[in-house]
Amino acid sequence: MKVRFRDMRPSRAELKQAFMPMLRGTLIGTLFGAMPGTGPTITTFIAYAFERKVSKTPERFGHGALEGVAAPEAASHSKTQVDFIPTMSLGIPGDAIMALILGALMIQGIQPGPQLMSEHADLFWGLIASFWIGNVLLVILNVPLIGLWVKVLQVPYRYLFPSAMFFIAVGVFSTNNDLFQVGEVLVFGILGAIFLALEFPVAPILLGYVLGPLVEENFRRALLLSRGNMGVFVDLAHPISLGFVTFTSLLVAAQIYFHLRGIFRQRELRRGA
């Protein structure tokens, strides 16, 4: 059966169902996009996990839930755009692609920083214009190819899995031409499979692995500047640090709340049964 373009358009009910997940995914992508070192993969995991926690029917996730697709995609796209903020304003790349762009700018003698917008206005506004043009071209190119992407999903898993493993091994080996690193990836892949089997959330592990060294280094630096005074992090004289500590505390409290709500819901379902 031939698939027509109007058959691929989401209905009004689907748009209404996906609106709030898309909005939350965009906010999550924007928040983590401003943090250097977090790639789009971590952002999509966080958006998916958040939607599953706030959903009243989390059992639908993993079986084609529209919210589980809309939120991660919105987070990924917003993260890609916001990645330019730390790269251009602070000279800190958000991911590997931003690192390449940063290197290309420095080769051309352009130093990213707070003065980039005034000293290289043509580059800055040209970059903004490229966002709009790029998104329009993505729509023009991707929509006609939806049928092709759907056919790719129909390839049997027994062919996709070994192909993916092969390309991963080739990509890792080509970085430094070292087979030992391929073995490292294999070990971490096994650990990841064990974590998934034990239902460990993947997003916090990836985020901690990427940002852990940066957090430790800057934590030691802050303690050296404050001469070991831990109160500097919650001092009213430093509202930015106090704001981050408060936000983190609220985030932890929200996680505890959602966990307890899930436990109470399971108990109510058992009593009802």
- pLDDT per residue of the chain (273 residues) written in tens, 0 to 9: 555 656 666 777 877 878 888 888 888 888 877 766 556 667 787 888 888 887 777 778 877 778 888 888 888 888 877 777 777 777 666 666 676 677 777 777 777 777 777 777 777 788 788 878 887 887 777 777 777 777 777 888 888 888 888 888 888 888 778 888 888 888 988 888 888 788 776 666 766 666 677 678 878 888 888 788 888 787 777 787 788 888 888 878 887 887 788 788 778 777 766
Cβ contact 38:32 at 8 Å: yes
End-to-end CA distance of the chain: 44
112: left (phi over 0), alpha (psi -120 to 50) or beta: beta
Look at the block and give the residue holding tokens 């049964």. Answer: 273
Contacts of residue 122, Cβ cutoff 8 Å, sequence gap at least 6: none
d(CA 57, CA 64): 13
d(CA 100, CA 169): 22
Cβ contact 196:186 at 8 Å: no
d(CA 134, CA 126): 12
pTM (2 d.p.): 0.54
d(CA 162, CA 158): 7
Cβ contact 45:61 at 8 Å: no
Task: Read off the amino acid at residue 99.
Answer: A
CB crowding 119-143: b at 16 or more within 10 Å, else e: ebeeeeeeeeeeeeeeeeeeeeeee
d(CA 131, CA 135): 6
Domain ranges of the chain: 155-223, 226-273
